[in-house]
Structure 1
Amino acid sequence: MVDYSKWDKLELSDDSDVEVHPNVDKASFIRWKQRDIHEKRERRGHEIDELAISIDTNEALMQRMEKLLALPIGDLIHAGVDGTVELSRVATEDKTKAKEYDEMIESLIDQIESQSEADYTKNLKDHKVKLSQVIEQQRKRYAELKEESTKYITSEDLKTGFDSFHLNKVKKATPAKPLKKESAKVQEVETINKPSATPNTSPTSHSTTVSSSAVAKSTATDDLEEPEAYEETLEFANIPMGDLRQCYEYVTKHPFIVSEEQKDAIIMLAFQQKLKGQTQMMKRYVYNALLLQYCASLGKDGINLFFNRIMAPNHPALQAFMKDVDFTVNHIENRCKILAQESNEDGEDVDGVEQIQLHAVDPNTEIVINVPAANSEEEAFFHTFSSDMQTAIMSKDLTQINKVLGELSVEEAEDYIAKFNEIGVLSVEEKILDATEWQKNEYAANESYDGNIPKDFLQSVIEGQTPMTEQKEDEVLSTADIVD
């Protein structure tokens, strides 16, 4: 059997089964009944609050009257009004309402004041009886109202039984320290002071440089204040190309890498990867760098806006993005081809292998190759060299010697230079040039390309633009102009 008693405490104002007089609009009657219910409920609540306050006040007054009746009446008469008020105070009463209670006792004393102790006592007891009756009536009415208020469930009776939740806050990621760029540039100066050197030569010096194409490119960009990549940026750059879900989760966890600065840092790394011949790695870096650029360009909520579009099937945003990736990849490849071509023309190594190369430090001097004399100790030592080195020395061409040294490791090349000093293969002499030849050399020096990465080119790679150079008629186009 179903127990429906739990619904007895629901007071409905819009009961569909209510019957009203035919001349009374049902909707209006329901609204009136609803308003009546809320008004009665509000009046009942105010009356309950007033009764509670009145009962507390009357009970405190009752305690004071009981204390006065316990004292000798003669003392109360001689104490006067103020003294009687002070004697009536109870230690347990509410101190915040003490002034109010004092005023009520003062009013009571004024009413019952008498020179006769019997009359004083009688009047005080009568007021006590009346006050007790009032308190009893108030308590009875208070109980009735409370019982009536509990007959129905109201919004004031509803309380939250339990309400707790746990919020796991994700710790905000902070960028790690940027990785410092490593660059190496070593220059050694060897002095040729062998006594057996060719006469009439000054014991000056020549330069031996340890060079690497990749290192040279890096040091050439130091003045550009190249942006430094965070460790988190490098991790993001190595995410496989096309894995948009992993990229989205990573940038959501590390939003601080979504900036133009970190995008530029990845583009720099892509450029270096292409110089090393790592084409696939370069494409991956470009792809992920442009992801950061697009997110940063869309504003505060750019991460969600961009990935929601690009991850949608067949969305035009993905096609536009891939076109931008292809354009940037082609741009870097074309620039690296120009750099490789220029490096080859200048005889610079492009494979990233360190080399020892011989050059004169003073532009007014030149390195002279001396072949050891026949049947001498130097010639015997000379024959211990490799056949390629012997052939290069016999040609007396410094370019050929540098070519052979470039194929050797740095340690082997340094060992050869030490042997050159021992047998006097190299010496430095002053140049003697006429005016015409001097002008030609000056022009060639001014128009030469040093093999380093131009600043303008790196900046163009960062900005994703293809720099164009205009060639005027009858104007010499230098290699620097081609790269810039």
Structure 2
Amino acid sequence: MPLNYSKWDMLELSDDSDIEEHPNIDKKSMIRWKQQSIHQKRQERQQRIAKLRAEISLNETLRPRIVSLLDSLKTLPPKEATSKFSSLVSQLTNEPSPDKPNTGAPNQPTYDVMLLHLLEQVAKEAKDGAKDGEDTDRLASRLTERLEFHNGKLDHRTEECGTLIEQEEKEEKSKITSEHIHEGFSSGFVNKAGENILEEKPKPASSKKKETTIEVLNPESSKSATVESDDDEDLPMATPIAKEFTNIRYGDFDGALRFIQSNPSIMAESNTDSLLLEAFNSEIDGKKVKAKVCVEKGLLIQYCRKLGRDGVRLFFQRMNQPGEAGKKALHLFQSDVEATYQRMATRVKEMAAEKASSSAGGEGEEQIQLVAEGGASVSFNIPEGPPPEEIRLEGEGTEGLDPVQVRAYLMQQWEIFDSFENKMKDALKKESLDEVNKVLGSMKLDEAEKVVGLMSEAGILNFQDGGAIRDETGK
């Protein structure tokens, strides 16, 4: 029986190990730009679909009111019809209802305001088309005619939005992505009475640890060192959007909701870890208020994600719910934030005490040394200067790359290199790992860590098939 592999044609991959890179751009950057391009297009498509659905919902809300007014204009005598039209305009002007679409946008007009603008436009068109001296019968007829015209345009726009949604969804389903993953089979369960959906159950601590024994370069200081690390990868650094999210004051749920609606990418799972890391660093720097805000925003993202696809709406609905239920949900969330912050603050104090005790014991200063182990090779990518104003991308593997983004990356690479001290620049230009380690050994630990991070970020120094960073004491 022949196998059908046609379904694999629908796969949309954001990472390809066989990608052909540009000679002037490292492979990791090419893959990262390709990922960003695919994710950006997918996100823009989802935003267009959401906008079209919101427009359909708005039209379906306004249409019954327009049809009701049309029926009145057709059935009532001309004089009464004109009077009803005028009284409705007066009511919408003087006593508007506060109901409006829940878009979260600032200065969102209400349904009554939008209907009032339509009626004013209908009245203007009817009066502009009327001749001098026309009676009330003719005016009522023209009001009905113009209102029917705009109602038809509204129906046509609703059908058009539906067609556009079908096209966007068809395009979205033409590719298989991680969002299409669903459970084939699952066992059911029943929620216990009174169980709060915002209350998180503690996760069992992972017992998996990997231990690596490293032989240090200075045997007089220490014979061997043991490093323990979790199986998880290093926590990501906070993105500019995540840092902007922390500018919203503690407990401002309305501001947080508006920010999420304007920046849906903030709900990425990695932002929870990056914000908790930002909180840890802020606590170390003595910025306790910022640290607590970072913890709150990180847990807010985590709660919304755990509540499912509609988690954002459910979370903020619980936080703003009146009565005892809302107070209980708010108390649970704030208690979790406070407990997480206190654990982090306690750990920072312990680290400070350990550092002070280590210094009092007469131990030497820590140093960072870069070592290529197990036959690993080191490559240097030293920029010669800033990139030209215009960049032309040619060759296989450059499809879909934005020359502006490529130039921005090359400019960032040059600016990072240019920010190093002259002795570090000279060591990098020699393309010698020993020379680089000599300069790193003369730096303070935090300064050396920063330099190593910048070199990795800019792709100036790369380890292939392995590599390690060693901390040395007493050298």
TM-score, structure 2 as length reference: 0.30
Max radius of gyration: which structure?
Answer: 1
TM-score, structure 1 as length reference: 0.29
